Structure formats: structure tokens, C-alpha cells
Amino acid sequence: MNEPQHLFDSLVTAVVVLTKDFYVEKMNSAAESLLHISALNARGKPLSDIILHSEKIYPRLEDARDNAQSFTERDFDLYLPENITETVDITVSFLERGAHQPPTLLVELHGLNRLKRINKDGASITRQETARQLIRGLAHEVKNPLGGIRGAAQLLERELTADNLREYTTIIISEADRLKTLVDRLLGPQKLMSLANINIFEALERVVQLIEAERPNTIQWIRDYDPSLPDLEADESQLIQALLNILSNASQALSEADDPKITLRCRVIRQFTIGSTRHRMVLQVDIADNGPGIDPELEERIFFPMISGRASGTGLGLAITQNIISQHQGSIQVSTRPGSTCFSIYLPFTQPVKSKREPTR
């Protein structure tokens, strides 16, 4: 292993090394993630090909190069291809490398979007866990008397001789069963995860088939898969359920769209923090649709149980999805605006040993 490169890639700070003409000489893994480009593709390219509208920073870079003067720029917006904007604190240092090597510029980028995301993600996980604990407590309190109500209705039914009266006990029993099913869904999966190495593309395509069976040839599917992705250690049935909940919502949101599209995108993200744990490498799955977007009043609560943007919705699908992703030590986020909604799932490729023994509820 190339130890200096390994240490370079282990840095949390995104670092780009530029030649004196502002061409990319090298970058670390954190920079690949922040700039949404691989080091292999970036090497040898001018900075202006990677960061659009970079003319705003070029005079400062020239000053740093010509006068060996370091500088720091706060809250600087990086405009990247594909309409991506990253807000960063940028520090540029001039580096002399000896008589036989030309000087370089060391560019350090501290992504503020990611820091905000980590803080928001941590707060969201805390809120969602608190809500889950309250819901579970309430569900257990409801489940116990339900059994008594159902049993009493069955005993009463045996004593009744008139059919018109038995109709009432039948209603009581069926409604008790319906409530028990609802409570079981609130409590979430109660079995141990069955972990195996799965192909995320196969899981996504399985879900697409299920959606297509319900709404054949009504949605344009755009696939943007990275074929180099390794297998993911996960419970396949639970992961498919989580993906199905998101894609079902997306397909329903597109019911009145003129040109309904759903984009499925898979990437490797390096040096990524989920909750309080930094992972060397995680899987990012984006599910994006061109529907009307989510009501801003619901966006912060969309993963809470019983919260739904549809009159006919139970508000359990995304809550169950969030619970499944959380049990896989992952994170799920949503960004939305009119005409675009994207759910992003982040999952470590391997599960810690303790999670393999813990039940998923």
C-alpha cells in the first residue's frame, strides 16, 4: 500500500493539489465526494472544468501563486456540473517543493453542506427515535386490551342466537384484527435481520418490476448505476420493502404528471459520517422523481408514523422505511421542491458485528 496516499485519502478535509497553471494534480477521497468527481477523471483537467464560474476565485489563486500568499474564503459557493452547489470554507496555501519540482497550490475545502447535513441528520435521528419509542409504548398499551376485546366478542358470539346480533360481534372481531395489524406495523419488524451479500441493482430492479406490474408503461425509468459497486451486506427482504415504500410513494406522486420520470442513482461515497460514526466508504442510493414535491409543512415530519401527504395514506410506509434503514446503521434524507423530490439512502457496505445479533425493533 502507498502509505502517503493512504493517509491522504484518510483525511476528512477535502484536499486538491493544483499545478501553477491551476490544473488538478491530485485530490483525496474527501474531495472526490465533495466535488462529485473521481480523482482519475479530475487529474490533468483545469479547475474551471470541475468548478463552474471559477473566475470568481482565479484572481485569489493567482495572487497566492505569484506572491506566495495563503488565503481563506468563507461561505464560498462551488458551482458544479449537474446543477450541484456546495458551500465551503476554502483555504489555499502556496507550497514550494524544492529546486527540481515546480511549486503547487494546496486547496483545502471544508464542506458546510455536509456539516449542516450531519447536524440535521443527528437531530432527525434523535427525533425519530423518540417518536418510535413513544409509538411503541402506545402500541403495546393498545395491543393488550385488543386481545381482551376480541376474546370477549368471540365468547359473546357463541351465546347469541340471533344472526342480526352476531353481525355486531363479527364487526367487533374484524375491527380488532384490523387494529392489531396496524399496531404490528407500528411496532415494526420483530425478527432478527437475516444478513447476506446482495446486489443493490438487483434489489432496485425487483422493486421496479413490482411498480411496473401495478402501473405498466406509465413511468420513464432513468438508471444511473455505478457498475463497480461491491455487494451490500443487508437483509434483502427488509431492504426491498424499504425501497418499495419510497418508490410506491414516488409513483403515486407522479399520477398526474405530464411526463413522469423516476431516476435511480447508485454511488460510492468515501469518508462519510452517519450519525456519529465516520465510515471509510458507504453506498448512496438516490431515488428522484419529477412530481409536485412534498408540502414544506410535512418535510420535517415525513418519516414520523401517522404523517402522510395523502388523504388515503396511513403514514406508516416512510416510518417503516426509516426504521429499516436505521437498523442497517444507515441514514435516509429527503430534499424536495416543486418538480423534484429526491430520497437519498446512505448505507455502510458491511454491518458491525453487534447489529448482526440485535433484533430489528
- 200 vs 140: which has the higher pLDDT: 200
Over 70: is that where the pLDDT of 151 sits? Answer: yes
pLDDT digits (tens, 9 = 90+) for 112-130: 765 555 555 555 666 666 6
Distance of CA 11 to the CA centre of its chain: 23
User: Residue ranges per domain, the chain?
Assistant: 3-114, 117-187, 195-356
Q: Say if CB 305 and CB 186 are below 8 A apart.
A: yes
Handedness of CA 182, 183, 184, 185 (dihedral sign): positive
Q: Say if CB 327 and CB 345 are below 8 A apart.
A: no
Identity of the residue numbered 329:
Q
CATH of domain 195-356: 3.30.565.10
Question: Which residue, 14, 9, 10, is CA-closest to 110?
Answer: 14
Q: What is the mean pLDDT of residues 180-190?
A: 67
Q: What angle do CA 313, 318, 319 make, to 5 degrees?
A: 105
Tell me, yes or no, if the pTM score tops 0.85: no
Looking at the chain, list the stretches that DSSP marks H as alpha helix, in order from N- to C-terminal side: 3-10, 29-35, 39-42, 47-50, 58-67, 112-159, 163-187, 200-214, 236-253, 296-299, 317-327
Cell (9 digits) for 13: 478535509
Largest CA distance in the chain: 105
Over 50: is that where the pLDDT of 286 sits? Answer: yes
Q: Where does residue 82 rank: exposed (0-12), middle (13-18), buried (19+ CB within 10 A)?
A: exposed
Phi-psi region of 226 (alpha: psi -120 to 50; beta: other; left: phi over 0): beta
Identity of the residue numbered 125:
I
Q: What is the mean pLDDT of residues 138-156?
A: 82
Cell (9 digits) for 32: 472526490
pLDDT band at 22 (very low <50, low <70, confident <90, very high): very high
Q: What is the mean pLDDT of residues 264-274?
A: 84
CATH of domain 3-114: 3.30.450.20
